[in-house]
Chains A and B, each alone.
Chain A
Amino acid sequence: MIVGEQKPISEIKEIIAPYKKILILGCGTCVKTCFAGGEDEVAVLASALRLACKKDGKEIEIEEFTVERQCEDEFIREGAPAISRNEGVLSLACGAGVQALARRFVKIPILPGVNTTFIGVLEKQGVFTEECSGCGDCMLAIFGGICPFTRCAKKLLNGPCGGSQNGKCEVNPETDCAWQLIIERLKILGQMDNLRAYVPPKNWQTGLSGGPRKLVREDHII
């Protein structure tokens, strides 16, 4: 899932400042799971903003609506009437959702209310960790299922750096050293030989280095 965090209220207030009538549009998929922009979060934000604006003597009308996903037309369409009624839309979807809306509702300002951060998993209720950086060339098979590109702060392919201390990363003592994890996992899998094998430089052409990527599946296009 995509993980994100709602922007601070102070920043959101500034973003919506020019508008008197806004729609806060939530998304029921990824951002709902990480408590950034689902229906509940839309309600809380709307309420908080109303209180804030009232206190500041700013006039504002806030409408609330949530669609299943903001990255697909099928669902975005459901929000169309609400969108057209308002001067601006504060979208609580991830960056992709915000842009999908902006593409389709060209005449209405679509504003981001969430900072999209990473592709990750729910480690436990309330805790989300980054796992994948979308490099386009997955090598999890040789690393025991743990990604060093994403989880090593230096994207090292051939083992830990000298800063790995007590199994923790030098950058953040609360972060596990990915290589420590890989070594332990390979030990359990009986694949310690993988550690001896030289891993050549990564081909970054499949990654973001080449600009925005596109996937076209002809077999699904009529």
Chain B
Amino acid sequence: MNMKASGKLQEILSKGEFAVTAECGPPRGANAEVVRKKGELLKGYVDAVNVTDNQTAIVRMSSIAACTHLLQMGLEPVMQMVVRDRNRIALQSDIMGAYSLGITNILCLSGDHQSFGSQPDALNVFDIDSMNLIRTVQTMREQGKDMSGFELNEPPAMFIGAAANPFADPFEYRVIRLAKKIDAGADFIQTQCIYNIDRFKEWMKMAREEGLTEKVHILGGVTPLKSAGMAKFMNNKVAGMDVPESLIKRIAGVPKEKAVKEGLKICQETIAQLRETKGVHGIHIMAIEWEEIVGEIVEGAGLTPRP
């Protein structure tokens, strides 16, 4: 893991401290105030904030712009970048632009297919894949060169992140995929939200056995459940999600007014388990459109104040 990039997130992880990140979705419009409001809710509770890139292929304010608004109010953003909408020329250009604005963290993703989004008629790009993007950022940082081998006047020294889903890929392939991302240049991994802690621990075991936890920082994803309906929906309708029957029953078993509280309890239990799991170096809280709950979760987990 390199030392050239800078930023609080990298610093905390390098020191071996438990990191906390959260997510912020930009608005469907040009109103920066929306971004600032979300930032206010997260300030002091997180080490860095992921800013999504036209998530679910719905057209929103750009990630690079929203990241900049957060920077200006003293938060450290993690710019998410998908390969769905931009070709290699645009991607490299935006990486350089982002770094020049002070953005030092990037999360490299494929991106949800455009057929799910608000403009399914659009042509997608996928000129390069997320693995290529990881390698590209690494090359820019380590060698100071772009994809054509051109020496950049200042290399964007980004801290590189990738996503991992311990609950998706075929069994034999999970660890191969993680190893490949690390090889390509990933410094940190944020996982899909975890409900099946046993299965997650199995994946962590495999990762440890391959020595991968020595090479990358893994942050476990958590999303608080609000209701049994939400639990069922996520399990049945969201790709790559595993919500154990026992959890669904548990949250269904309490009166509706108490569901949110129960969901938060489950969330705290998950976080506690993650802190005990060897190789897990932090948590990534995804409370989309519920940013106000992040503070409560971080406090409840005893993770405040942030360093």
Name A's B-contacting residues (CB within 8 A). Answer: 153-165, 167, 170-171, 180, 183-184, 187, 192, 195-196, 198-202, 204
Contact A201 B113 (CB under 8 A): no
Query: Considering the complex of A and B, which 6 residue pairs feature the smallest CB-CB distances, nearest first?
Result: A158-B131, A201-B128, A161-B110, A163-B239, A165-B239, A155-B126
Does B168 belong to the interface (CB within 8 Å)?
yes
- In the complex, what residues of A have CB within 8 A of residue B111's CB? 154
Question: Once A and B bind, how many residue pairs between them come within 8 Å at the CB atom?
Answer: 95
Contact B88 A158 (CB under 8 A): no
How many angstroms from the CA of A160 to the CA of B129 in the assembled complex?
10
Known: A160-B169, A162-B163, A171-B113. 17 other contacts (CB 8 A): A155-B126, A156-B129, A157-B132, A158-B131, A158-B180, A159-B176, A160-B168, A160-B173, A164-B168, A170-B112, A183-B173, A195-B180, A196-B180, A198-B131, A198-B135, A199-B131, A201-B88
How many angstroms from the CA of A196 to the CA of B184 in the assembled complex?
11
Does B40 belong to the interface (CB within 8 Å)?
no
How many angstroms from the CA of A163 to the CA of B116 in the assembled complex?
12
- Chain A's closest residue to B176 (CB) is A195
- Asked whether A156 and B180 contact (CB < 8 A) given A162-B165, A195-B173, A201-B147, the answer is no
- Chain A's closest residue to B240 (CB) is A162
- In the complex, what residues of B have CB within 8 A of residue A153's CB? 113
- In the complex, what residues of B have CB within 8 A of residue A161's CB? 110, 130
Contact B113 A183 (CB under 8 A): no
- In the complex, what residues of B have CB within 8 A of residue A187's CB? 172
The smallest C-beta distance from A110 to any residue of chain B, in angstroms, reads 27
Contact A159 B180 (CB under 8 A): yes
Complex partner residue of B131 from A159, A164, A170, CB under 8 angstroms:
A159
Does B249 belong to the interface (CB within 8 Å)?
no
| Contact residues, B106-160 vs A (CB, 8 A) | 110-113, 115-116, 124, 126-132, 135-136, 147
Contact A200 B132 (CB under 8 A): yes
The smallest C-beta distance from B164 to any residue of chain A, in angstroms, reads 8
The smallest C-beta distance from B190 to any residue of chain A, in angstroms, reads 11
- In the complex, what residues of A have CB within 8 A of residue B180's CB? 158-159, 195-196, 198
How many angstroms from the CA of A89 to the CA of B221 in the assembled complex?
61
The smallest C-beta distance from B92 to any residue of chain A, in angstroms, reads 11
- In the complex, what residues of B have CB within 8 A of residue A165's CB? 168, 239-240
- Asked whether A154 and B124 contact (CB < 8 A) given A164-B169, A170-B113, A198-B183, the answer is yes
- In the complex, what residues of B have CB within 8 A of residue A202's CB? 127-128
How many angstroms from the CA of A164 to the CA of B171 in the assembled complex?
13
- In the complex, what residues of B have CB within 8 A of residue A159's CB? 131, 169, 173, 176-177, 180
Contact B132 A162 (CB under 8 A): no
Does B255 belong to the interface (CB within 8 Å)?
no
